[in-house]
Amino acid sequence: MPGVTYTKEVRWVYGGPLVTHVLNVPRHGGLYKLRPVLSNDTVLGRQTVSSMQRRLSWQATVAGVNGDFFNLAAGYSSGVFMRDGVLITRPETSRSSLGIGFDGTLVVDRLRLAGSWSVPGFAERRLHDLNRPLRDGGVGLFTPSWGGATPRSSRVADVVLAGLAPTVANGYRTARVVRARPGGGTLVPRGGAVLQARGSWRSRLLGEAQLGAEVTVRLGLNPQWPDVADALGGGPALVQNGKPIFDAGEGFSEGHLALRHPRTAVGQLANGRTIFVAVDGRARASMGVRMWELALELDRLGAVTAMSLDGGGSTTMAFNGKVLNEPSDGVERAVATALMVFYYGIYAPPPRLPVFSPNGDGAADVQVVRAKVVRPSSVDLRLIRPGGTIAWHYQAVVGRGTIARKLSRPTMREGTWRWIVHARETREGRESRMTRRFVVNKTLGFLRLDRRRMRVVTGRGGRLNATVAVTRRSRVAVTVRDSAGRRIRVLGAGEVAPATLALRWDGRRGNGSVVSGGRYSIRVQARNELGTVVLARSVRVVRG
């Protein structure tokens, strides 16, 4: 992804092994947008970070990490979620929130909801919550972003509103009461909302917001954050004004802060670039970090502002639908929100094969190169031969989609090929380009085994014959490997002139013992001025 770097650091620090994953991305703006992502586009429910990216792949190429803490059962997040100025969930006052300014500046601060609802002729009333079940008495607002029916309880009452515009932060919205329902369980209407009252607030809501009444809702933030378009909850704050924070005094347990866990964080460098950080933990390969150690990590990486996000089993870093770190649960956990950078320029995925051998033997002899466009653009795609001449050229004005080129001609010249893609947006005129490389190397081909199943006998071994064609003088090594890829026997190694090599394996290890039953492979590696190329064929060994 142009302008984006990924680094995996393996170190011994803080008394043990530590694996840290870092994505360094351009400042928000132009072809790059730093945005919070809501799982399934609803507050309810969860989704893995990689599946969110696949869902969004038609809009952009995306990279990022998991987001805020959340309720495991229902999936709603613990803190604020705001996108394009529309407030979807309220902030958690005891914890920090992350704001993304219009100019890309990251702001970390503690917020509170300054919400209200009112009906003409009555006093303005406090709005206690937004798209989250009420813990105690009060009135909460549920918008279509909630993604389901309001919570059910004999202690609640719902008032259904029609004609409510998107709930922009610090703005007033007016709607009309069209229905009242005791007990909750109301589906939020599209283009409307539901006010739910709990406890003693039920009679007040039902008495004032009667059928046909006009209700005005305000969803204010304190502080207002007038220059912030998007926001995400999390915490605690880690770095402020270039200084690490060792105790932010936020609403987290001692166990969360003081014990070593997998961690996720986001920070901004002095040059405006953003870094995503995921620290592996709860594993022999990486012990994780305490919260103050995470602050030191962000400071070491150059962050001038930084905040922690949800960690533990939720810690995930992914690019284009592929997980980059090692989630501590062993599998990727479904989460409520994520924080991602969206890249809207042309994107060329890595070629299907980094080393390509179009010789017709059925092994690595079909290559595919692609270019993805997510906005209407004028594109220029070029496939460049070794030496710099153009093998294929395509120019057109295209909409959203992927352009693919399949390569399989045996006459393709050996060496390094380049796939160069360029796009200019039809509307905004912004340009983007990428270059991918792959190698055509036909040194090895036609690796054949005379059987796919070999019987071995204790004391006598077995017999397997193989042949392979070598077309260029190379340093060749032929080995036998077990199902885990471990080398158990060297059948031959040395300088080889162009020829067809005949090989034999007697079913024995390097120490002379007969192998046990299982899956093995004959692996041929050749190294020359074109690089290294490998062919392998598998054989099943049975004892008999």
Same domain, 425 and 454: no
Say if 216 falls within a structural domain.
Answer: yes
Domain end point (choices 440, 458, 490)? 440
Cα(127)–Cα(244) distance, integer angstroms:
36
Contacts of 140 (CB under 8 A, 6+ apart): 127, 128, 129, 130, 131, 132, 133, 134, 195, 196, 198
Structure tokens at 493: 């190694």
Same domain, 157 and 239: no
Same domain, 294 and 366: no
Same domain, 212 and 132: yes
Same domain, 307 and 236: yes
Q: Comparing C-alpha atoms, which of 539, 401, 397, 403 is closest to residue 464?
A: 539
Same domain, 122 and 202: yes
Q: Comparing C-alpha atoms, which of 119, 111, 115 is closest to residue 129?
A: 115
pLDDT of residue 544: 83
Same domain, 120 and 68: no
State whether residue 543 is helix, strand or coil. strand
Q: Comparing C-alpha atoms, which of 199, 148, 158, 154 is closest to residue 181?
A: 158
Same domain, 462 and 377: no
Q: Comparing C-alpha atoms, which of 340, 269, 278, 264 is closest to residue 300?
A: 269
Domain end point (choices 205, 222, 239)? 222
Say if 91 falls within a structural domain.
Answer: no
Same domain, 188 and 145: yes
Where in the sequence is the domain holding 398, given as residue range(s)?
A: 355-440
Contacts of 402 (CB under 8 A, 6+ apart): 370, 371, 372, 373
Same domain, 335 and 261: yes
Q: Comparing C-alpha atoms, which of 150, 101, 134 is closest to residue 113?
A: 134
C-alpha distances out from residue 473 to 392, 446, 492, 509, 524, Å:
30, 17, 15, 28, 14
Amino acid at 224: Q
Contact indicator for 99, 230 with CB cutoff of 8 Å: yes
State whether residue 484 is helix, strand or coil. coil
Along the 544 residues of the chain, how does pLDDT read in single tens digits?
A: 999 999 999 999 989 999 999 999 999 999 999 999 999 999 999 999 999 999 999 999 999 999 999 999 999 999 999 999 999 999 999 999 999 999 999 999 999 999 999 999 999 999 999 999 998 899 999 999 999 999 999 999 999 999 999 999 999 999 999 999 999 999 999 999 999 999 999 999 999 999 999 999 999 999 999 999 999 999 999 999 999 999 999 999 999 999 999 999 999 999 999 999 999 999 999 999 999 999 999 999 999 999 999 999 999 999 999 999 999 999 999 999 999 999 999 999 999 999 999 999 999 999 999 999 999 999 999 999 999 999 999 999 999 999 999 999 999 999 999 999 999 999 999 999 999 999 999 999 999 999 999 999 998 999 999 999 999 999 999 999 999 999 999 999 999 999 999 999 999 999 999 999 999 999 999 999 999 999 999 999 999 8
Residue with tokens 């392979």: 468
Contact indicator for 541, 515 with CB cutoff of 8 Å: yes
Cα(452)–Cα(299) distance, integer angstroms:
56
Cα(431)–Cα(105) distance, integer angstroms:
24
Cα(427)–Cα(431) distance, integer angstroms:
11
Structure tokens at 482: 């077990």
Q: How many CB atoms lie within 10 A of CB 414?
A: 19
pLDDT of residue 425: 97
Say if 237 falls within a structural domain.
Answer: yes
Contact indicator for 244, 281 with CB cutoff of 8 Å: no
Angle at 109 between CA 105 and CA 113, to 5 degrees: 115
DSSP letter for 41, please.
G
> What are the residues facing 425 on neighbouring strands?
377
Domain CATH code at residue 360: 2.60.40.2550
Domain end point (choices 287, 322, 343)? 343
pLDDT of residue 42: 97
Say if 336 falls within a structural domain.
Answer: yes
In 280-366, the DSSP E strands lie at 303-308, 317-319, 322-323, 337-343, 355-356
pTM over 0.85: yes
Residues belonging to the chain: 544
Same domain, 239 and 326: yes
Say if 79 falls within a structural domain.
Answer: no
Say if 348 falls within a structural domain.
Answer: no
| SS3 of 344-383 | CCCECCCCCCCEECCCCCCCCCCEEEEEEECCCEEEEEEE
pLDDT of residue 32: 97
Say if 95 falls within a structural domain.
Answer: no
**How many domains would you assign to the chain?**
4
Contact indicator for 523, 483 with CB cutoff of 8 Å: no
Angle at 517 between CA 514 and CA 520, to 5 degrees: 90
Structure tokens at 521: 């492979």
Same domain, 239 and 315: yes
Concatenating the DSSP letter of every residue in 101-165 gives ETTS-EEEEE-EEEEEEE-TTS--EEE-EESS--SSSEEEEE-GGG-SBPPP-TTEEEEEEESPP
Say if 96 falls within a structural domain.
Answer: no
